[in-house]
Every structure is written in structure tokens, then in C-alpha cells.
Amino acid sequence: MDNGRLQNTDPSELQRLLRERTEDLQRLKAEYDNYRKRVRRDRMAVRQIAVANVLRILLPVLDAVDRTCAHEPMTPGLKDITDTLRTQLGSLGLEAFGQEGDPFDPARHEAVVHHVSPDTDRLICTEILRSGYRLGDQLLRPAHVEVTGPPPPASCLLTRHDEEPHDDAEQEDEKPTPPVLPVASMKRAPSSRRARPRPPI
């Protein structure tokens, strides 16, 4: 190459060089596109983690607001605070779940009380004790619920005491008895010293 010009003017060689340079540019562009996608994905993951951490901290505040709304009269100020808080947290992606009548899902619900009803064939959430929350597909907190359903299988009711009864008398017999010393050995040995006579007064 002299002064920016190719010395070889063979058309086939020029086509080969053009093809190689084009492939290099395409490879470089693909690597740059992958880099931009990876950076964007990492930024979204960091943002998701940060938002999830903030929402977890604010969940007790939501619980306090729910308790207040359930036991206190709904004043205009309380309603404004509740609506604003839920709207702003909802804009971050926070979603509450847990409704009476929902099928029990151990991945989303935590059963606190189990009521037995022979008329049902599956576990149903009959009362929501504490709402659950999620951020997209990420579970932030399971819902605490009371469930009603059929009795558990008999195999689940077996305990260690039901499997094999224990005889306390046999266990006491198996315990090693401590050695008993002879009565003579328990008496105080006579002193080898003789009583000295008292000096006369």
C-alpha cells in the first residue's frame, strides 16, 4: 500500500479483502451490541434488587396502615395517606395478593391455622391474616392465611410415639444400677490413736 492505495489491483484479491473487512466490522458490531445488552441487563437487575430491598423495608408500614384502617374510622387524612402510599408503591411494581377463597398455594401462602372440613377436597384460604406481596415474579413475602380443607392423610398423623410403644418398666430395668457398698465399708473406721489422759488439774 503506497499513499493510501493498494498496490495489488487484482479484482479477486480486492474482493477477498473487502469480504474480510466486512466480516470484521460485523463481528465488532455484534460484540458491541452484546455488550450494550449485557450492561442494560445488569443495570435492570441492580435496580430490581434495590427496589425490592426498599419495598421489603416498607412492608411493615403497609401492615400498620392496614391495621389502622381496620380499627379506626376512615378520616379524610388517613384515606389520603393510604391512597398515596399504595399508589406510589404500586408505581414501583409492588403487588398485593391473597383473597378469601383462593386455592392454597404453598409457594405463595403460609398456613397459620388449618380447619378440617370433610366437605372439601382441597385446601382453600378462608381468611387472610396478613397480605402477601410480590414484585413482578419475585416473591417479597408470603401471605399468612387460615385454610380449610380435608383432614391430612393418616400416614401424616403417625408420630414416633404411635409407631412403637415404649415400656417404661423395661427401660428402667435396662438402666445400670449403681454399685452398693457393704454396710461395713460405710461405717467409720476406728481411730488408731488412743485417747490421751487429761493432765491433772
Give the separation between CA 22 and CA 17, rounded to whole angstroms: 8
pLDDT over threshold 60, residue 21: yes
The pLDDT value recorded for residue 6 is 54
pLDDT (tens digit, 9 = 90+) per residue, 56-88? Answer: 999 999 999 999 998 989 899 999 999 999 999
Provide, rounded to the nearest whole percent, the portion of the chain with pLDDT above 70: 71
Mean pLDDT across the stretch 29-41? 94
The pLDDT value recorded for residue 14 is 84
Q: Residue 124: phi, psi to the nearest 5?
A: -125, 140
pLDDT over threshold 80, residue 160: no
pLDDT over threshold 50, residue 182: no
Q: CA 127: distance to chain centroid?
A: 22
The pLDDT value recorded for residue 192 is 44
Give the separation between CA 118 and CA 151, rounded to whole angstroms: 7
pLDDT over threshold 60, residue 158: no
Give the separation between CA 199 and CA 189, rounded to whole angstroms: 28
Banded pLDDT at 151 (limits 50, 70, 90): confident
The pLDDT value recorded for residue 185 is 40
DSSP state of 20: H
Of the candidates 101, 107, 111, 112, which has an alpha carbon nearest to the alpha carbon of residue 137?
A: 107
More confident residue, 7 or 94: 94
Q: Residue 32: phi, psi to the nearest 5?
A: -70, -40
Of the candidates 100, 153, 95, 89, which has an alpha carbon nearest to the alpha carbon of residue 125?
A: 100
Provide, rounded to the nearest whole percent, the portion of the chain with pLDDT above 90: 57
Burial of 137: CB neighbours in 10 Å, binned 0-12, 13-18, 19+: exposed
The pLDDT value recorded for residue 117 is 87
